[in-house]
Amino acid sequence: MNKLALFFVAASSLVTCVGAHAADGTVNFSGQVMGQTCRIDGSTAASTKTVTLDKVSTSSLAAVGQVAGRTKFTFTLDQCSKDANVTARFEPGPTVNASTGNLINQTPGGSNAEIQILNSDYGVVNVSTNSGNKTAAIVSGNATLTYYAQYVAAAAPATAGVVTSSVQYSLVYN
């Protein structure tokens, strides 16, 4: 009989625990997956862009945070299906320094330099969070997104060496 009483006590305590896990609310998600709405640099296929930064002296990157070699790059959009605003959202990933938002040098034996992306007003775009990013208006089916890339000394001093990195991007329309 003690075993039967023990069973009922254990079973009733399980029923009591269930009430402690009640939901406090609901989060609903919605979105839309769209086909490509603009051509990028004249192509409807995925676009790969190569930006070649100028060669700079190690003396221009002698202290942490110093920058050099600013180079302009653009995404030219045409045949956009509707007028809206668009931005290039840079995707954080393994090539992004999560604390600085800069692109990490991917060349072994690197030079203590990272690559920093700037918006059209020369403000820093933190690739980890996309803060500092700008939108462009699509007008009559066309838009140009202007950015700059530059070296930034991640450690001092930056030493001579090849600097390479990459980042994926997606166009975001709103």
- Contact by Cβ (8 Å): 83, 140: yes
Query: 129 vs 25, which has greater pLDDT?
Result: 129
Match 């991917």 to its residue by tokens: 106
| Whether residue 26 has pLDDT greater than 70 | no
CA distance 57 to 29: 50
Look at the block and give the residue holding tokens 């500092």.
132
Give the model's confidence band at 169: pLDDT under 50 very low, under 70 low, under 90 confident, else very high.
very high
Asked whether the beta carbons of 50 and 133 are under 8 A apart, the reply is no
Which domains does the chain show, CATH number per domain?
39-44+53-173 (2.60.40.1090)
pTM: 0.78
pLDDT value for 3: 55
For the segment 114-152, what is each residue's pLDDT rounded down to a tens digit?
999 999 999 999 999 999 999 999 999 999 999 999 999
C-alpha to C-alpha distance for 62 and 69, rounded to whole angstroms:
14
